[in-house]
Amino acid sequence: MRRDNTPATLDRKVVRTAPPSRRAILRTLGASVALPFLPSALPRSAWGATPSAPTRFVVAVMPNGIFTPAFEPITVGTDYELGPILLPAAALQSRMTIVSGLENFSERDIFPEHEPAMGSLLTDVPVDQSADGTPNGISVDQVPADVYGAQTPFRSLQFGVENTGGGGSPYVNQISWGNGDTPFPPIEDPLTMFNRLFGVEVGLSPEEAEARKAMRGSILDRVLDRTTSLKGHLSASDSVKLEQYETGVRELELQIARLDQIVCDEPDAPPTNPGFAEATSIMYDLMFKAFECDLSRIISFLQGPSVSNQVYSHLGITDDHHTLSHAGWTPNSAAEADYKKINQWQLEVFCGLVQKLADTEDVDGNDMLSNTICLFTTEFSESNTHLAYEAYTLPVAIFGGENLGIVQGQHRRFTGESQGSLWLTLLHHLGIEQNTFGTYGNKILSLT
């Protein structure tokens, strides 16, 4: 199992204007003179003789399916032609793998509908909507978050954009799940996400920032003092729970300390209430900054809830997304063209993030993409009847991760396999060598 303790990426020069941000304040306290990337100058005590880059994972899920006939290549192997939806990835084809043939057996175990399809997509666990609470399995992004999350200020980040449609079911509105009944809902407002990542102490003087830091430390100290006073008065099971809680508090303390130590160029704050298309682009920009600044190494992104009624007006489309996904896929119809146009745009903006990672040098001298697995997928392969199994297999694209053992530039078909086996395979490439994942993930598929 691979575990690295890589500190944040070195900062790059930036000139900022008032009001000063928290990191600008830290710079005034002696934290920074910006330097170019100089691997030989990295402290050996922190990095070792050869710098190793962080292992990163981002998964982006598109709602309401993808028009599979325009996505899935006909030819298997390296010599395949890009369909219309894949054209935005043309410049990245050598760094992309298209996977076909995967079935969501967990959806099949319930019935073909939005909730079981989206709910089980990243967990490979059938969701029982009749049960109390929100039972599910752990999602593929949260497994590496449990392994690598303590090394960064945020163990994982959940991004979203809009909640138009979807209803009240937790299975259509979120894709990241801890064990059991612990969903991690996405943050859908870019400004809220920006403030979470960068803006917690904007406008404070250096003295005020230090006072805030001291107060946080004092609060954590009081919590730990309280847990100490309880020891010796608890049952064995409660003592275990208290120890787990205390460990969590100490990890939180370490993560806050790491956040204070990070020196990184922050982006300008996003506008309030941007439009849908602009919000999507901003969120991808923030994902890149989160990776570049090593704020987190695990990110999930939900473009919108399953049953999304979003109107993609910036593409000249007037019908809502959910309606178009049920338009019958009439050949050469306007509805089919609009549905494909939405899918193409979704991949295009995702590829913007992938390209930035490819264009940015990592701490090991390679580009960031080679150390990052980027997963693009959806909950359906046949949206008219909500199917993701039997003849209708999930559309999946994987970018990057070459330094993690993935050989790119191919169309790979795994007939009759669960998507859980692909998630299990990706976990192995992320350095997590467990034997199974979810309900049906029990086989390592070849991406080499």
Whether residues 77 and 174 share a domain: the answer is yes
Task: Please check whether residue 435 lies inside any domain of the structure.
Answer: no
Whether residues 270 and 405 share a domain: the answer is yes
What confidence score (pLDDT) does residue 210 get? 65
CA 249 centroid distance within chain: 24
Whether residues 215 and 189 share a domain: the answer is no
> What is the CATH classification number for the domain harbouring 77?
3.40.720
Name the domain boundary from 221, 240, 265. Answer: 265
Whether residues 175 and 137 share a domain: the answer is yes
Task: Please check whether residue 29 lies inside any domain of the structure.
Answer: no
Domain hosting residue 252, numbered range: 204-265
Whether residues 281 and 180 share a domain: the answer is yes
6, 54 contact by CB (below 8 A): yes
Distance CA(330)–CA(108), nearest Å, equals: 25
Tally Cβ neighbours within 10 Å of residue 276. 16
What confidence score (pLDDT) does residue 28 get? 32
Q: Please give the chain's pLDDT, 448 residues, in tens.
A: 433 433 333 333 333 333 444 443 333 332 322 333 333 333 333 334 446 899 999 999 999 999 999 999 999 999 999 999 999 999 999 999 999 999 999 999 888 899 999 999 999 999 876 666 678 999 999 999 999 998 888 999 999 997 666 667 889 999 999 976 788 999 999 988 988 888 655 555 666 566 656 655 555 566 667 667 777 777 776 676 666 666 655 665 565 555 555 567 778 889 888 999 999 999 999 999 999 989 999 999 999 999 999 999 999 999 999 999 998 778 889 999 999 999 999 999 999 999 999 999 999 999 999 999 999 999 999 998 998 898 899 999 999 999 999 999 999 999 999 999 999 999 999 999 999 999 999 999 999 9
Whether residues 127 and 173 share a domain: the answer is yes
What confidence score (pLDDT) does residue 196 get? 85
Name the domain boundary from 239, 265, 291. Answer: 265
What confidence score (pLDDT) does residue 22 get? 40
Provide the number of structural domains found in the chain.
Answer: 2
Whether residues 253 and 280 share a domain: the answer is no
Whether residues 118 and 256 share a domain: the answer is no
Give the neighbor-by-neighbor strand order of the sheet with 96-103. Answer: 157-160, 298-302, 56-62, 372-378, 396-400, 96-103, 410-418
Task: Please check whether residue 143 lies inside any domain of the structure.
Answer: yes
What confidence score (pLDDT) does residue 217 get? 59
Task: Please check whether residue 392 lies inside any domain of the structure.
Answer: yes
What confidence score (pLDDT) does residue 262 get? 59
Whether residues 177 and 297 share a domain: the answer is yes
Task: Please check whether residue 128 lies inside any domain of the structure.
Answer: yes
HSE-up (13 A, CA, CB side) for residue 345: 20
Cis, bond preceding 270 (omega within 30 deg of 0): no
Whether residues 185 and 273 share a domain: the answer is yes
Residue 335, phi then psi, degrees to nearest 5: -65, -45
Whether residues 77 and 213 share a domain: the answer is no
Task: Please check whether residue 30 lies inside any domain of the structure.
Answer: no
138, 436 contact by CB (below 8 A): no
Task: Please check whether residue 120 lies inside any domain of the structure.
Answer: yes
Query: Which bin fits 400, alpha (ψ -120 to 50), beta or left (φ > 0)?
Result: left
Whether residues 339 and 366 share a domain: the answer is yes
Tally Cβ neighbours within 10 Å of residue 248. 11
Residues in the chain: 448
Task: Please check whether residue 49 lies inside any domain of the structure.
Answer: no
